[in-house]
Structure 1
Amino acid sequence: MAGIYVHIPFCKSRCIYCDFYSQTSLTLRQRYVDAVCKEADARSSYIKERVRTIYIGGGTPSQLEPRQLAQIFHVLGSAEEVTIEVNPDDVTPSFAEALSELPVNRVSMGAQTFSDERLRFLRRRHSAGQVSQAVRLLREIGIGNISVDLMYGFPNETMEEWVRDIDAVLALDVEHVSAYSLQYEEGTSLSRMLENGDVSKVDEELERQMYYTLKDRLNSAGYEHYEISNFARSGYRSRHNSSYWRQVPYLGLGAAAHSFDGSTRQWNVADIRQYIEGVEQDKCVAEQEVLTPDNLYNEMVMTALRTCEGIDVSKLSEDYRSYCLAQAQTFVKNGLLVKDGTRLCLSREGLFVSDMVMTALMHVE
């Protein structure tokens, strides 16, 4: 099952935590959409398998005009799962009506928090109340698969406040929830605030308990914890993202988009103007890396171990299987990994320190 990802790097305003490639000027939107469509045509043979998922991400795809989204889908066609990311305040009655005419059947919405105070801190442009309004409008046009993003670990956030956010997303009765701890990525406004002493990180033990509380409350409400940061009702896992974690080939279109064909990885230039001009002039806008066996093994560790299925060591070559099991012994003994037959999975405690475990299992020459 192959997929297509389209990066839409336009935002009306920039959140203080975001390090994804985007810009707030919308002047190049039409030329960019034209370039994406041209790139899609030029690279139509990149994926040999049937395309079953399409994901329009960003940035803020809902900042495109409906006719521009329609133009993209005219080129891409449809798929079994077609996701678009939206900001809650962009989901107006007219936007929802336009969306109903596209092949979109899944919407991912960035709520982040249901506290207006914390939304202002993040410089999000929507209010907490607009999230439920957006969900209602999407239901009215027949969208039966909605995902909502949450964040936790804000400076000075209490457990009680976090529980209120969890309860608020449960009240929406959506099919999928993604939740991430607030990250201080280098180069972001939030990182500079931390360096200047304007904010301080949440206590690590409190952050750990917030994660466990999230897991327990969503599990109790019937959501499956199928990946470190993702929870879904039965049958509603993100097929597109699940393909990434299983190392399935995908084509990335747009500035800064990545592609993977099973043996090589490509990434487009992270500059809107350079991308547009390059595509318009039929020039290559991507760099490419041929993946070594170590690269492929390390990527498998980094992706498969994120999922509830974990690593199936029986699918590894003898050398990598032996190496993986040897590296895993300590973590199995201390309870951070669970060995179940041929599978290695992160335990409840291991999920919170997953980066450390993954790094230890990777192969370094």
Structure 2
Amino acid sequence: MNVLVTESGMRFAKGYRFELYKSLKAKGHTLCFLDQNISDTYIDDEGNKHIPLSYVVSRENRNPFREVKFISSLRKIFQKEKIDCILIYGIKIIPAMSIAAKLAGVKKIVSVINGVGNLFMGDNLKIKTLRLLALPTLKVAFSVCSEVLVQNQDDLEMLIEKHLVSKKKAKRTPGSGVNLERYPISPIIENNNFLLVTRITAAKGISEFIEAANKVREIYPNANFHLVGPKDESDKSIDWKEIESAISKGFIQYHGATKDVASFIKESRIFIFPSYYREGIPRAVLEAMSMGRPIITTNSPGCRETVKEGVNGFLIPPKNSSYLSEKIIWMIEHPEEVNSMARESRRIAEETFDINKVNDIVIASLTGNNL
């Protein structure tokens, strides 16, 4: 079958879902990708087809006329390329992609909710207006989908409760999974190096990370706090003066973006993820678990599914640097328990988040049981 995979960013990143693509190709399916960074169609070295998309997908687009035009252009692409199945990642593009696929006669439409993001966060006028416009469209989109895969239990229950998707179509997956071989277990280091890997935006808990680092270093000045991740130029919520001040004072070390997350995890003792963004299940947390690192994260959707309290880490209230610093200090003062938590993180990754198990669910939904 001719399978098209598309994501919110519309930028094909080789290797991002490499294991899934490899499994689909091994089963004899042809893969296509939409890419707004290219101007001509081409076939890559692995036989995948890349199709240019002139429409620029914007997070802030709320113009219904542009959406109608987008849907029309997508329908033409799907018909021209004879797409049999479409796999859609990202709640922002699900309406346009799924409706266009239905109009084009695509046989199987599967949407993946890898976090509902800002749509269900906050109750200010802007967010309420956005929800008022988006929810009816999402309901229509889900109705034309063959299946809707949701990456955490909180989002699954919420979407069903709000009657956006039926119980019959909704299915739970444990995040996107993690490649246990690409992120092998690594001996936990003795130095108190604490690591946060994330896109640099306020909702990821950057301020709380900095505040906790300051509090901890007052008691344990040899504790080191490392922040890794790209800047989000479109996000105005982050206070870069706060980050620059923390760097200059030595509270944290900022390493920028990286393509080698594993090397930073290897040199860490504890992985911290104080996000209050509505995650699917954070990929960086799963990677740290796979490499055998205890986790401190928030008791919020997506994040809470990675931690068994007191077993492989701790869950803290969102937006609370005091709780975060308390748990960090506890881990500094209880090295033997931390070593046990490290082993438990790897065990949980193996049992629950193995990417092969997750991909089997996705492929079964996309192509049916006749694999």
Task: Give your verdict on TM over 0.5.
Answer: no
TM tier, smaller: 0.3 to 0.5
Q: TM-score, normalised by structure 1?
A: 0.35
Between structures 1 and 2, the one with greater strand share: 1
Normalising by structure 2, what TM-score? 0.34
